Amino acid sequence: MTELGVVRRDRGAMPAPVILGLVALCFYEVLSSGASLLAGRFASVVVSAPIAALILVGVLRGHALAFRWGVIMPFVALLAVATSGDDTVIAMSCGVLLLAIPVSFSMPSSRRFFGLECPRCHATHAKPRDLFFNKRQCRACDTTWLE
């Protein structure tokens, strides 16, 4: 295993799949918050809106932790939508929007934007080596680095 220490990278412009995931995230949050407010479920908005805002800021900054939450959160939210018994058009739309987020974030250009490209072998499948995803490890060559 090779340790490279701190690696600086040029994030470049936000790739189209990240923009698509970001738009889907925003639409989902507006739709689900609106539906929750109409149904009088204020606690749901109080919990989900700050989480969505944190993910939004992380995505704009290209942080790998936002990538991780952008992939995990939709499945948790999809489970909540599926178990709510709500079969309205809004609920169905939320499901489609939710699936668009992990799919678009998993594209190679998205993974590069989130700093998951190995600086040594250029594989784009890094895994976290610490809680905040600042230290990463390449799944292909085991190289570790910090961002």
Contact residues: Zn ion, CB under 5 A: 118, 120-121, 123, 138, 140-141, 143
Q: Which is nearer to Zn ion, 68 or 136 (CB)?
A: 136
CB of 4 to Zn ion, least distance (A): 10
Q: How far is the CB of 70 from Zn ion (least distance, A)?
A: 22
Q: Please, which residue, 79 or 121, has the CB nearer to Zn ion?
A: 121
Tell me, letter by letter, the H, E, C secondary structure of the chain: CCEEEECCCCCCCCCHHHHHHHHHHHHHHHHHHHHHHHCCCHHHHHHHHHHHHHHHHHHHHCCHHHHHHHHHHHHHHHHHHHHCCCCCHHHHHHHHHHHHHHHHHCCHHHHHHCCCCCCCCCCCCEEECCCCCCEEEECCCCCEEEC
Q: Which is nearer to Zn ion, 76 or 141 (CB)?
A: 141
CB of 138 to Zn ion, least distance (A): 3
- Nearest distance in Å: CB 31, Zn ion: 39
In this complex, which beta carbon is closest to Zn ion, that of residue 104 or of residue 143?
Answer: 143
